[in-house]
Amino acid sequence: MVRVIDLHNIRNITISGRIGSGATTLAQKLSHALGWDMLDGGKIMRKIHEEIGAAVFATEARPDQFDLDYEEKVKNILKEEAYQIIQSHLAGFDAQGIEGVFKILVVCEDKEGDDRIDMRIDRLVNRDGISVDEAKHEAFERDKQNLAKWRRLYANGDQSWVYWDRAYYDLAVNTYDHNKDQALALALEAMGHKT
User: Whole-angstrom Cα distance, residue 82 to residue 114?
Assistant: 35
Q: What is the mean pLDDT of residues 28-44?
A: 89
In a domain, 67, yes or no: yes
Query: Distance (Å, rounded) from C-alpha 168 to C-alpha 157?
Result: 18
Is pLDDT of 55 > 70? Answer: no
Q: How many domains does the chain have?
A: 1
Whether residue 136 is contained in a domain is answered as yes
- Rounded CA-CA distance 73/137 in Å is 29
Per-residue model confidence (pLDDT) at position 194: 76
What residues does 37 pair with on adjacent strands? 84
**In the prediction, which pLDDT does 82 show?**
96
42 in any annotated domain = yes
Does residue 2 lie in a domain region? no
Please state the φ and ψ torsions of residue 18, each to the nearest 5 degrees.
Answer: -70, 165
CB 124 within 8 A of CB 135: yes
Residue 52 lies in a domain: yes
Task: Note whether residue 128 is domain-resident.
Answer: yes
CATH number at residue 25: 3.40.50.300
Dump pLDDT digits (tens) for 118-161.
Answer: 999 999 999 889 999 989 988 888 889 899 999 999 999 999 99
Domain that holds residue 80: 12-190
Task: Tell me the DSSP string of 111-151.
Answer: TT--B-HHHHHHHHHHHHT--HHHHHHHHHHHHHHHHHHHH
Flag whether 59 is in a domain: yes
Indicate the residue type of 15: I
Share the mean pLDDT of the chain: 90
Residues 91-118 have pLDDT tens digits of 999 999 999 999 999 999 999 999 999 9
* Three state DSSP letters for 22-44: CHHHHHHHHHHHHCCEEEEHHHH
In a domain, 6, yes or no: no
The mean per-residue pLDDT over the stretch 177-183 comes to: 95
